[in-house]
Structure 1
Amino acid sequence: MGKLFSNILGSGSKDLIILHGFLGMGSNWKAQGNRFKEIGYRVHLIDLRNHGKSFWDSNFDYHFMVDDLYKYFQYYKLKKTILIGHSMGAKTAMLLSLSKPELIDQLIVSDISPKDYQSKAEVRKIGEGLIKLNLNGIEKRKDLDIHLEKYVNNSQMRQFLMKNIYRLESGKFSFYPNIRVLEKSISIIEKFPYMGGEFNKPVLFLKGEKSNYINIKTDKDLIRSYFPNSKILEIEGAGHWIHFDCPDLFFNKVMEWIKTT
């Protein structure tokens, strides 16, 4: 079992950790990470197991991901951190906060609630686009784009997804993520395994206006049962990938909240 791969930006005295979502990777957050670095944070862009440049393993659920993250915190002697997570990464962040609250000062949850989900068509379709991609028949990156266009209309989102694919020395393309394990794990990722406890420190939930992953009306009491010192903020014009759809708003709202809590 290896250590999680990360790209660490800056050398500030306060650690800020960012966890990507399903089929993402830490490098997807580099633009945001650099902005946090520029104002004095040491930023950890982490690849979760079976994603990016981190190790592959047939075991894949939130308990394993939380344990990986805890070991990462121990390795770097991290404490009193700011933890940001998106979607699957946000569930992992919430679970670590509930089980090891002493490690985290502030938690930012991007567009997910602490609950089970049924299949979301948008995410399923994106996953299907990568899973059905036969890299053996692909010679140019343009061919990757043509294939993904059947599943993802937004060209910028396709470029985002294509970061999961790299070229080997042989010239063939290969996946960073462990596609076969992830394909079998979608239903596991949709769950939120109850681990008990509360996290009483400040928590910011960001909801994309165009996303239905957080229902403020029905989720508010559930969120506060785990995170009594939480705030829910809707980001106008954003879908599920708030940091991608509205990068300036995401950064500004997060920093405004960090400074005032």
Structure 2
Amino acid sequence: MLSRRAVLFRHLSLSKSSPRTFNTTIATRRPFSTTELPNGIKLAYDLHEPPTTDWDPSRTSHNAPPPIVFLHGLFGSKKNNRSMSKVFARDLQRPVYALDLRNHGDSSHHPQHDYTALAEDVEHFLRAHELQAPILIGHSMGAKTVMTVALRQRVALGALIPVDNAPVDAALKSDFGQYVRGMRQIQDAQVQKQSDADIILQAYESALPIRQFLLANLYRDTHDGVQKWRIPLKYLANALDKMGDFPFRDPEEARYEGPTLVVRGTKSHYVADEMLPIIGRFFPSFQAVDIEAGHWVVSEKPEEFRKAVVEFLQDKD
């Protein structure tokens, strides 16, 4: 029988949160950069910095708030988190690193794509940039990646925010397999217009926002004019089963005691009520917040997501 501490969590209510005011000055974003890791992978990232007009000269490297590292989900990229990263840099007055994980965006391609490999990349990145006690935020695939980093305990973290995924083995929705089939059909058709690619994809996904999300991975080859995928479909198709797995099984052997905010969409099945006890065993200090959204919590309800994260982290400063 689970102990009371193992299953205890505090459920946050957004509707009862006290209003806060934030500086509206825009954060700055440097042109994207890449970091070559010791394992040969090159990770691309955007760095969003707090507005210079809000810089506090009394803050030193010893008392400045820890940086945020923001990870996207499967078929996503750092661009998906660009707007929210700017907001966090502004509202929380700290740098935000939005990463492209391997096989996504502008980062390296590699046939190995599982949570151990993804976590190792993130750990190398944190060491390379000497990020002290960073806050890791990850959505979907990114959520399982940040949970894996925390449980491996190879780097010190300040807090953890997994978004709409749980530390369990659970098959991906069949939608992802359909997306791959549609993307392969687009690849074989060698279309030259993104609108033609969208027509093909409509047979596999009816929702325009999701199609736009997937089609953001296309680029036009300047040599032949063909729309081509920036992501390696072969590698990611082979990794779909692994994306449903989780590398840890026993909470008695691996546990992260630091502050953790689990954000879940009420219309999504990825963090069901019956998963909360196992989350509590792996992450005994976790809190949960429900947002009325599907799996794409950040894009569906950005203000609710912003509010939950900002209030959680401000309580930790």
TM-score range, shorter chain: over 0.9
Name the residue aligned to 1:179.
233
| Pick aligned residue for 1:239 from 291, 294, 299 | 294
Q: Secondary structure at the match of 1:108?
A: strand
**2:264 matched to 1:203?**
no
Mark the CA change 1:43 to 1:135 in structure 2 (over 3 Å): closer, same or farther: farther
Q: Secondary structure at the match of 1:5?
A: strand
User: How far did residue 169 of structure 1 move?
Assistant: 1.9
4+ runs deviating over 4 angstroms:
none
Structure 2: distance between partners of 1:256 and 1:131: 42
Matches of residues 21-170 of structure 1 in structure 2 within 5 Å? Answer: 21-39=73-91, 40-100=93-153, 102-134=155-187, 136-170=189-223
TM-score of the superposition, structure 1-length normalised? Answer: 0.93
Name the residue aligned to 1:254.
309
Q: Secondary structure at the match of 1:98?
A: helix
Structure 1: distance between partners of 2:188 and 2:214: 14
Structure 1: distance between partners of 2:71 and 2:98: 7
What root-mean-square deviation, in Å, do the aligned CA atoms of Structure 1 and Structure 2 show?
Answer: 1.7
User: How far did residue 11 of structure 1 move?
Assistant: 5.5
Contact 1:206 1:233 in 2 (8 A): yes
* Higher alpha-carbon Rg: 2
Q: Secondary structure at the match of 2:43?
A: coil
Contact 1:78 1:103 in 2 (8 A): no
Q: Secondary structure at the match of 1:240?
A: coil
User: How far did residue 220 of structure 1 move?
Assistant: 1.3
Q: Secondary structure at the match of 2:186?
A: coil
Deviations 1:175-220 (CA, angstroms, capped at 9, x unpaired): 121111111110011100117421111101111011011112x111
Structure 1: distance between partners of 2:96 and 2:180: 28
User: How far did residue 150 of structure 1 move?
Assistant: 1.4
Contact 1:37 1:43 in 2 (8 A): yes
User: 28-37 or 136-145, which moves further after superposition?
Assistant: 136-145
User: How far did residue 173 of structure 1 move?
Assistant: 1.8
Name the residue aligned to 2:33.
none
Deviations 1:231-256 (CA, angstroms, capped at 9, x unpaired): 121101x0001001111111111111
Contact 1:47 1:53 in 2 (8 A): yes
User: How far did residue 102 of structure 1 move?
Assistant: 4.8
Name the residue aligned to 2:269.
212
Deviations 1:50-108 (CA, angstroms, capped at 9, x unpaired): 11111011112111111111111111001211110011111110010112275211111
Contact 1:3 1:72 in 2 (8 A): no
Q: What residue identity is the alignment partner of 2:48? A: L
Q: What residue identity is the alignment partner of 1:3? A: K
Structure 1: distance between partners of 2:142 and 2:182: 21
User: How far did residue 135 of structure 1 move?
Assistant: 5.4
Aligned residues: 259
Structure 2: distance between partners of 1:250 and 1:126: 26
Matches of residues 183-194 of structure 1 in structure 2 within 5 Å? Answer: 183-194=237-248
User: How far did residue 28 of structure 1 move?
Assistant: 0.9
**2:38 matched to 1:2?**
no
Name the residue aligned to 1:18.
70
Q: Structure 2: state its 5+ residue gaps.
A: 1-39, 52-63
Q: Secondary structure at the match of 1:132?
A: helix
Contact 1:136 1:173 in 2 (8 A): no
Contact 1:9 1:37 in 2 (8 A): yes
Q: Secondary structure at the match of 2:262?
A: strand
**2:276 matched to 1:224?**
no
User: How far did residue 124 of structure 1 move?
Assistant: 3.0
Structure 2: distance between partners of 1:66 and 1:131: 28
Q: What residue identity is the alignment partner of 1:215? A: A
Structure 1: distance between partners of 2:275 and 2:154: 22
Contact 1:108 1:203 in 2 (8 A): yes
